[in-house]
Structure 1
């Protein structure tokens, strides 16, 4: 049987539901099989939802939300609206940032991702991670990180997106400082990489980390 042809609006909604659902599954530590068994939906139906092949029905979304013990709005980005609004919680993906020795963070929107928590403060943009220097924080190569735009960390030890030496070489690191010292440390979460110790004038913070998710494999 041929698959239904979806409109552009429906395809955007499918993408938002799939991204939100993957994020919740990672947060809950559950697999596709766990979700299928818990909701009594077939594994092929769950796979189609996660791979943006089928638009989830309202009844299926409710069953999924009930099983995962989350609000329906964490799965369906249009739940709080009476009409479809594909811009709800839509965050621009601005390219890549290195969780390693540095990589250009291109200020070009390559796609949009969804942030599933409507009641929380929204991130300003997202970046794709390339490298493994933050694996100790659970951030791996290919992950998408949510970033709030700001020029300084909110607290000592926060994970930040930083540009070193004004060369547009972006990196994701944990920033720490010591009272009485001018030097700042950009610290990896992987022993293979060295900590960078810099003065404030030698780097720029372009945002702070607000969470991440692991995209489904193509």
Structure 2
């Protein structure tokens, strides 16, 4: 079986299972024969671009969630709008406030080209931001190839109150670019602890002693940790691995 056809087949099987459907039901929904669907599922043929789009539209996912070769052509703007429109009003307001803060920070950087020392810039920001709040900071998490995370790193830091989600229990600093364009290198990510794991959840996970910021998918008897940046390969988790969830990302 061709490797890409195997990936496509595995992803279609996962979506069918997650939505409690059968192959026949899906084939009827998207207008193809059960035999053709069986060929896709068993790696005997590869679905056309149009069929991939139909499956993606039916499950309300991106084409890259089915065929990973589409990753490079994903429009971040469309993805952001799709996610935003699915959120409840309260969560939409949080996303808006976070984006507004990022824009203000960017505009301030552009308006102050003479600030060349990082500490000077930080001091100026501290003087202008009055409404600060304590946040429990647990250290650094990898948005790349893994980062050790220990409880000894825990400390209290102050952050602008409006960027801290109401549900957040603590925060971490991101190291790496594997979750671009949604999560940026050296920015903060906020987590809610004691959550129930489910496919599609974005969280921080410890795998064999190293912490990762990833999206998780449960497949067969294991799990797959996915990056948003297409240059990073998925990480697979087996029963033999030491694996746990630190918390779910909240916005």
With the shorter chain as reference, the TM-score category is: 0.5 to 0.7
Work out the CA distance in 1 between the residues paired with 2:135 and 2:164.
Answer: 15
Q: Is the 8 A contact 2:225 2:234 kept in 1?
A: yes
SS at match of 1:141: coil
Q: Is 1:115–1:122's contact at 8 Å kept on the other side of the alignment?
A: no
* C-alpha displacement of 1:144: 1.1
Hey, what does 1:91 align to over in structure 2?
Answer: 135
Question: In the aligned structure 2, how far is the partner of 1:27 from the partner of 1:141?
Answer: 16
2:248 to 184, 208, 218: 208
Tell me the TM-score normalized by structure 2. 0.48
Q: How does 1:93-172 map to 2 (within 5 A)?
A: 93-107=137-151, 108-114=153-159, 116-117=161-162, 121-137=166-182, 139-150=183-194, 152-153=196-197, 155-165=198-208, 168-172=209-213
Q: Out of 123, 134, 140, which is 1:52 matched to?
A: 123
Residue 151 of structure 1: how far off its partner (Å): 5.3
Using CA pairs below 8 Å that are at least 6 residues apart, which structure has the higher relative contact order? 1
Which is higher, the Rg of structure 1 or of structure 2?
Answer: 2
CA distance in 2, matches of 1:120, 1:144: 12
More helix by share: 2
Q: CA deviation at 1:34?
A: 9.1
- Give aligned pairs, total: 149
Per the alignment, do residues 151 and 169 of structure 1 end up closer, same or farther by CA in structure 2, a change over 3 Å counting? farther
Q: Which residue of 1 aligns with 2:223?
A: 184
Superposition RMSD in Å:
3.7
Q: What's the TM-score, normalizing by structure 1?
A: 0.54
Deviations 1:85-143 (A, max 9, x none): xxxx4211121111111111132224413362599633111111111111132x12111
Contact 2:134 2:157 in 1 (8 A): yes
In structure 1, list runs of 5 or more residues that go unmatched. 1-20, 37-43, 45-49, 62-74, 78-88, 212-218
